[in-house]
A and B are shown apart, each in its own frame.
Chain A
Amino acid sequence: AQSVTQPDIHITVSEGASLELRCNYSYGATPYLFWYVQSPGQGLQLLLKYFSGDTLVQGIKGFEAEFKRSQSSFNLRKPSVHWSDAAEYFCAVGPYSSASKIIFGSGTRLSIRP
Chain B
Amino acid sequence: DADVTQTPRNRITKTGKRIMLECSQTKGHDRMYWYRQDPGLGLRLIYYSFDVKDINKGEISDGYSVSRQAQAKFSLSLESAIPNQTALYFCATSDGVVGSYNEQFFGPGTRLTVL
Write out, one digit per residue, whether chain B residues 48-90 have a CB within 8 A of any chain A CB (1) or not (0): 1010000010100000000000000000000000000000001
Contact count band on B = 20 to 34
Instruction: List 9 A-B residue pairs with CB atoms under 8 Å apart, sorted by A's residue number.
Output: A43-B90, A43-B106, A46-B105, A49-B101, A51-B101, A99-B56, A102-B102, A104-B42, A106-B42
Please tell me if B104 contacts chain A, counting CB pairs below 8 Å.
yes
Write out, one digit per residue, whether chain A residues 26-50 have a CB within 8 A of any chain B CB (1) or not (0): 0000001010100001111110010
A-side interface residues, number (CB < 8 Å): 25
Question: Which residues of B pack against A, CB within 8 Å?
Answer: 4, 31, 33, 35, 40-45, 48, 50, 56, 58, 90, 92, 94, 96, 101-109
Which of B33, B35, B94, B96 has most A Cβ within 10 Å?
A: B94
Once bound together, how far apart are the Cα atoms of A46 and B107, in whole Å? 12
Contact of B40 among A43, A90, A106 (CB under 8 A): A106
A43 in contact with B43 given A95-B102, A99-B56 (CB within 8 Å): no
Once bound together, how far apart are the Cα atoms of A74 and B83, in whole Å? 36
Residue of B nearest to A36 (CB): B106
Which of B35, B42, B45, B92 has most A Cβ within 10 Å?
A: B42
